Structure 1
Amino acid sequence: MTPSEVEILPQPNSEEPEKDYLDEIPNDVEMSLFDHLEELRQRIFYSLIAVLLSVIGCFVVVKTIVQLLEVPAQGVKFLQLAPGEYFFVSLKVAGYSGIVVASPFILYQIILFVLPGLTRRERRVIGPVILGSSVLFFVGLAFAYIALIPAALKFFVSYGADVVEQLWSIDKYFEFVLLLMFS
């Protein structure tokens, strides 16, 4: 054979077996629609139990959480404008805080539900994506608390400082703070 004939011969493709391996679904088990729905129901149930326990835990320490969220509003006096307003604000704060506390477990349940249907290639990607998303979520919460809320409050206080006295409803303040933190 001449050197030009050797180049014409088909070369074995070493990537093909690896590509097939990465595109396989490991532990591929067929499930019926009802089995999928039952597993989904179970994952949702576990997530709701985690949220409920987290909300109860946050409600136990809600006074501390409320005081922490009041820090950006320096020098503003909060008013309770209706009977039970602080109680309902406490429930709202505990609810949002409980969801934040339970979010890693909820994410874990979502992963457990989705993982059996993913190929090896998709499984390689899911870890960094989830880690990055989680870090960015908590960085966003910290950014809102440290930079965004104080800047927004400073603007709104200075905008009406010479016209109105700054007495805020605690309910409206926490709606504002929670909106900024979760948007």
Structure 2
Amino acid sequence: MTPDVETLPQQPDTSETDNLDELPNDVEMSLFDHLEELRRRIFYSLLAVAVGAIGCFVAVKYIVQLLEIPAQGVKFLQLAPGEYFFVSIKVAGYSGLLVATPFILYQVIQFVLPGLTRRERRLIAPVVLGSSILFFVGLGFSYIALIPAALKFFISYGADVVEQAWSIERYFEFVLLLMFSTGIAFQVPIIQILLGNLGIVSSSQMLSGWRIVILGAVILGAVLTPSTDPLTQSLLAGAVIGLYFGGIGMVKLSGK
């Protein structure tokens, strides 16, 4: 009879976890090298915005007509010489920034990529894709829901007292600011996914702070919306709250 051989407990294989926390290209760069790389990425991004703005300025008339649709036939006035020209430049600038956004994201990724571990690099593709989709969804939500709701409130209020004739510059300041603010506000789930997958905050911790989130969403709606009507603020706050709880669900599904 052979004697019993005591088997040692197997140690968990941590090689895969260690590999995920490694830097694939661990290259030392000096501070001046980092600054030079940052300068180059910023230059490329600004160049892309300039090219996009020039291209949009060629078709700015059609962009302006598209953004005037939610105004429901309100008459626009040019209250100063060259006002429409400067509005066209502003609209082309915002549109050029929007067109150049994918290229700007690419430059940001290329700058931060050398300092990311394999685990963090796995998040790049879904984060960039999700962020882009949510930003454009936010623009669409603002154009379809927020802007018409706000303008309807302003048009109906005092319609029997004053004639609706608006400054074209003030109108486009209102529309462009609201659209881009909404696009930024729709990034809430992306921030939650990053925090959850990096182990900073869990889904249960996010859910436990729902009261603070609701209060913060109301304040965010009041700050980001250039109008003072409660309907627009409530719509944006409700959208942010819905996105927050949707983000909790996505973090929960990822097991965090």
What's the TM-score once normalised by structure 1's chain length? 0.94
What SS does structure 2 have at the residue aligned with 1:71?
helix
Relative contact order: is structure 1 or structure 2 higher (C-alpha 8 Å, sep ≥ 6)? 1
Q: 2:10 — aligned with what?
A: 11
Give the whole-Å Cα distance in 1 for the aligned partners of 2:4 and 2:145. Answer: 72
In the TM superposition, what is the alpha-carbon distance from 1:154 to its structure 2 partner? 0.6
Aligned pair in 2 of structure 1 residues 157, 2: CA closer, same or farther (>3 Å)?
farther
Q: 1:165 — aligned with what?
A: 163
Q: 2:101 — aligned with what?
A: 103
Q: 1:40 — aligned with what?
A: 38
Give the whole-Å Cα distance in 1 for the aligned partners of 2:171 and 2:110. Answer: 38
What SS does structure 1 have at the residue aligned with 2:123?
helix
- Give the residue type in structure 1 aligned to 2:155: V
Q: Deviations over 1:128-149 (max 9, x none)?
A: 1111111100000011111111
Give the whole-Å Cα distance in 1 for the aligned partners of 2:42 and 2:88. Answer: 25
Give the whole-Å Cα distance in 2 for the aligned partners of 1:39 and 1:54. Answer: 23
In the TM superposition, what is the alpha-carbon distance from 1:86 to its structure 2 partner? 0.2
What SS does structure 1 have at the residue aligned with 2:84?
helix
Quick check: which has more Rg, 1 or 2?
1
Q: 2:63 — aligned with what?
A: 65
Q: 2:203 — aligned with what?
A: none
Give the whole-Å Cα distance in 1 for the aligned partners of 2:100 and 2:124. Answer: 20
Q: Deviations over 1:54-79 (max 9, x none)?
A: 11111111001000000111221100
Superposed structure 1 runs of 4+ greater than 4 Å apart = none
Give the whole-Å Cα distance in 1 for the aligned partners of 2:52 and 2:171. Answer: 23
Is 2:23 aligned against 1:20?
A: no
- Give the residue type in structure 2 aligned to 1:31: M
Q: Alpha carbon RMSD of aligned pairs, Å?
A: 1.3
The aligned length equals 179
- Give the residue type in structure 1 aligned to 2:53: V
Q: Deviations over 1:4-57 (max 9, x none)?
A: x54xx231312x000111011002111111111111111011001101101111
In the TM superposition, what is the alpha-carbon distance from 1:163 to its structure 2 partner? 1.3
Is 2:132 aligned against 1:140?
A: no
Superposition pairs for residues 151-162 of structure 1, below 5 Å? Answer: 151-162=149-160
Structure 2 unaligned segments of length 5 or more: list them. 182-256
Superposition pairs for residues 81-120 of structure 1, below 5 Å? Answer: 81-120=79-118
Give the whole-Å Cα distance in 2 for the aligned partners of 1:120 and 1:85. Answer: 51
In the TM superposition, what is the alpha-carbon distance from 1:102 to its structure 2 partner? 0.5
Give the whole-Å Cα distance in 2 for the aligned partners of 1:75 and 1:125. Answer: 45
Aligned pair in 2 of structure 1 residues 161, 2: CA closer, same or farther (>3 Å)?
farther
- Give the residue type in structure 2 aligned to 1:149: I
- Give the residue type in structure 2 aligned to 1:48: L
Give the whole-Å Cα distance in 1 for the aligned partners of 2:119 and 2:43. Answer: 29
Give the whole-Å Cα distance in 2 for the aligned partners of 1:85 and 1:20. Answer: 60
Structure 1 unaligned segments of length 5 or more: list them. none
